[in-house]
Amino acid sequence: MAKPGDNRQEEEINPNYQVDSATRRKAFRAMLGYAKPQRLVFLGVFFCAILAISADLLQPYLVKVVIDDNMLGDQGAGRVIGLGLIYLLLAVISMIFTYLQANLLQRAGQSIVAALRKDLFSHIAKQSMSFFDRHAIGSLVTNESSDTETINQFFTQVLLSIVRDGLSLIMIIGFMFLLDVQLALYCLVLLPLIAIIAVAFRKMLRNSYQRARTQLSRTIAFLAENLSGMSLIQSFHQEKEQVSRFSQRNRKYLKESLREVRATVIFNRSFDILGNLSVAFVVYLGGMAVFNSALEFGVLYAFISYIRQFFQPINQITQQWNTLQSTLVSVERLWRIFSVEPEVRNPKPEQAKELGLERVRGQVDFNHIRFAYSDDRDVLRDLELHIKPGEFVGIVGTTGAGKSSLVNLLARFYDVRKGSIQIDGIDIRQLKLESLHRIVGLVQQEPYLYSGSIIDNVRLFDESIDRDTVIEACRMVGAEQMIKRLKKGYDTLLTERGSGLSAGERQLISFARILVYQPRILILDEATANLDSHTERLIQQALNVVSVGRTTLVIAHRLSTVQQADRIIVMRSGGIIEQGSHKELLQQNGYYADLYHHATRGTAAGQ
């Protein structure tokens, strides 16, 4: 079955997946934008690098001076000791500035990534529900954690290497020419050879790198999804299957990683061999020249040192190729997420309308709405529903009829495809999301709790709501006894998804939220389904207090929950098929009456 998310999977699986270069450039530029605030730090890194490299590269030159001008000449031992001390000083300088450079660079890199992570999270948090239908949680976790980490590596490794190794290379070539132009020219003959090797390996390294990355992200995504569904896996005794599916992915990752390592090692060794050959070459040419007294011995020594160091920066830079590749992949992936505009958006300032919380009367109009999650199937078809201020409306109907979808539209988790939804005559798309969510309070089918204390879960981390208000709300919904039984009472830390609490207890907490926030329009989606009838009655009482003068929509499978409603809406496959009060519906003797008789007969039989 093709789900909307499958495309993304396809892109991740296919290592040759490419976006056009304009997009890639745009993405890359956007990422570099994050480096801007750090430019002073980068400048500092640059200076430290220059100092450290200069101190490093002066060392062989110093030895040459000792050999040619002092040891072989006839000046005193005092100068040799002096030069020795300078050598030591250079080593210390190199150490200090390398340390400073590494420190500054990490600081810049980590700050960039911290900013990026924050923006990514707030971008994701802004997305509409359709975004989460399309993106697997596991891969979003990968985006937040490892993709941003790769970008850190770009700044701390790739950029560093380009600056440090690039500078070293230039300075080494400079020193070589300073020592002996002819020998230096001979050495430069090697450059095209190096280029050929680098290009030949480039594609191979890139492919193997990307394949390994793809496997890793799939493994992580698999892990994340499994961890959140562990109870399901265990209850169906799927551990073995899942473990084998996991080890299958893990094996693939291992294979690809090994292949990548092999490619890198072969590449590095080829470079080493080339390096050794060049040393032999210099020793041969230079040695002959020394024999013929055309070259001083000290110069030859320094030359050999430089040619050895010559390959190191080149090797380093080419090794960064991998990291650069993975940065590009990560940047593209992040960019794809960043470029998703939330479907549900705040109104443009010129179209925005104000609706103060106190002034809301609570009239709700669904005007000929049509809605679908995907293009192939309408979930709600031309639905018309008008709710008077303060009306208590019950919604019942078959599973999958579109009840939750209807109320989710009112909370603007999604937007209608056609028609409009109005509150007090104002299209909800013209209201700021923040004020809409203050006006409309929703208790969902599966209430979500955050990691945090009970107090924070009720007030949603809003410190302006004081503790007593929260405790009062919990008392009103009858959650007090349950909370008092917990070890730390109201300060008990709940874990994500509220484990440690039963489904009903979780629902009580979300009811307390409603009491604290007092929205003008109240929606309960199967909110009392998990409660025993005693607790449900408690909630009902609390709600009766809160819902006075408030528009209330209650979705329920248990008909008794909505029997008292001013009006009951009966839904079936995306439309309203009957409506009226309990009595009226029974008189109509239609679908509702059927349901009702079925239910009462069921209870009678059960007793």
207 makes contact, choosing from ligand ATP, Mg ion, none, with CB < 5 to 8 Å by partner type, with none
Compute the radius of gyration of the chain from its Cα atoms.
35
Residues that bind Mg ion (CB under 5 A): 404
- From 38-46, 155-163, 325-333, 394-402, give the range in contact with ligand ATP by CB under 6 A: 394-402
Q: How many residues bind ligand ATP (CB under 6 A)?
A: 12
Instruction: Single out the residue of 404, 430, 507, 552 in contact with ligand ATP (rule: CB under 6 A).
Output: 404
State which residue, 264 or 404, has the beta carbon closest to ligand ATP. Answer: 404
Site for ligand ATP in 430-459 (CB under 6 A): 445
Instruction: Single out the residue of 403, 459, 506, 550 in contact with ligand ATP (rule: CB under 6 A).
Output: 403
SS3 per residue for 423-439: ECCEEHHHCCHHHHHHH
Tokens of residue 596, six digits: 């009702």
CB count within 10 Å of CB 495 equals 12
Give dist(CA 276, CA 307) in Å, integer. Answer: 9
Give dist(CA 252, CA 427) in Å, integer. Answer: 52
405 makes contact, choosing from Mg ion, ligand ATP, none, with CB < 5 to 8 Å by partner type, with ligand ATP
State which residue, 327 or 404, has the beta carbon closest to ligand ATP. Answer: 404
State which residue, 330 or 404, has the beta carbon closest to Mg ion. Answer: 404
The candidate with the shortest Cα–Cα distance to 151, out of 143, 161, 162, is 143
127 binds ligand ATP (CB under 6 A): no
Least distance to ligand ATP, CB of residue 416, Å: 13
Least distance to ligand ATP, CB of residue 405, Å: 3
242 makes contact, choosing from Mg ion, ligand ATP, none, with CB < 5 to 8 Å by partner type, with none
373 makes contact, choosing from ligand ATP, Mg ion, none, with CB < 5 to 8 Å by partner type, with ligand ATP
Tokens of residue 128, six digits: 């509409």
399 binds ligand ATP (CB under 6 A): yes
Do residues 395 and 401 make contact, with C-beta atoms less than 8 angstroms apart?
Answer: no
Site for ligand ATP in 349-378 (CB under 6 A): 373
447 makes contact, choosing from ligand ATP, Mg ion, none, with CB < 5 to 8 Å by partner type, with none
Least distance to ligand ATP, CB of residue 41, Å: 45
Phi and psi, residue 341, nearest 5°: -80, 135
State which residue, 316 or 404, has the beta carbon closest to Mg ion. Answer: 404
Q: Which residue is nearest to Mg ion (CB)?
A: 404
Phi and psi, residue 382, nearest 5°: 45, 55
379 binds ligand ATP (CB under 6 A): yes
Do residues 418 and 499 make contact, with C-beta atoms less than 8 angstroms apart?
Answer: no
Site for ligand ATP in 133-172 (CB under 6 A): 133
Task: Collect contacts of 325-329 with beta carbons under 8 A, ≥24 apart.
Answer: 325/205, 325/206, 325/209, 325/210, 326/150, 326/153, 326/209, 326/210, 326/213, 327/150, 327/151, 327/153, 327/154, 327/158, 328/24, 328/28, 329/150, 329/210, 329/213
State which residue, 286 or 402, has the beta carbon closest to ligand ATP. Answer: 402
- From 153-161, 183-191, 291-299, 397-405, give the range in contact with ligand ATP by CB under 6 A: 397-405
402 binds ligand ATP (CB under 6 A): yes
Contact characters 176-215, ligand ATP, x per CB under 6 A? ----------------------------------------
Q: Which residues contact 594 (CB under 8 A, 6 or more apart)?
A: none
Phi and psi, residue 56, nearest 5°: -65, -50
Tokens of residue 232, six digits: 């399901």
400 binds ligand ATP (CB under 6 A): yes
Query: For residue 421, what are the CA distances in angstroms to 90, 130, 576?
Result: 74, 18, 16
405 binds ligand ATP (CB under 6 A): yes
Residues that bind ligand ATP (CB under 6 A): 133, 373, 379, 397, 399-405, 445
